[in-house]
Amino acid sequence: MANRNEKISEILHDLGARFLSLNGNGSSLLTVTHVELTRDGKRATIFFTVFPDKHEKTALEFAKRKRSEFKEFIKDNSKLGRIPQMDFGIDSGEKNRQKIDDLLNQ
């Protein structure tokens, strides 16, 4: 089951990156960092970073508004039978890692 969830996570990661790239307005760079899938496979959260940081709130609102369109995108571009309930989130862990790297490099 873990292997299946890993494959689904990889598919969702790829599709999430493609979807955000195709539907974004280009004012910021959205990078999908990872996908968290529940054990039962019923819910998934796609985490991403935003550059520049000042567009984070707008980008997250955009992604959350597009959840139903993203689900249709998954149906059209994958062979997943049961598509999990989708959500988006800002990857604060990656953001914190970047801050630590900046501090170490000063």
**Greater pLDDT, 81 or 16:** 16
Cα distance between residue 70 and residue 64, in whole Å: 10
- pLDDT tens digit string along 26-60? 888 999 999 999 999 999 999 999 988 899 999 99
pLDDT in tens, 69-95: 999 999 999 999 899 999 999 998 877
Q: Which residues contact 62 (CB under 8 A, 6 or more apart)?
A: 24
Predicted pLDDT at 1: 57
State which residues form the domain around 12: 2-104
CATH of the domain at 21: 3.30.300.20
> What domain count does the chain have?
1
**Confidence label for 101 from pLDDT (cuts 50, 70 and 90):** confident
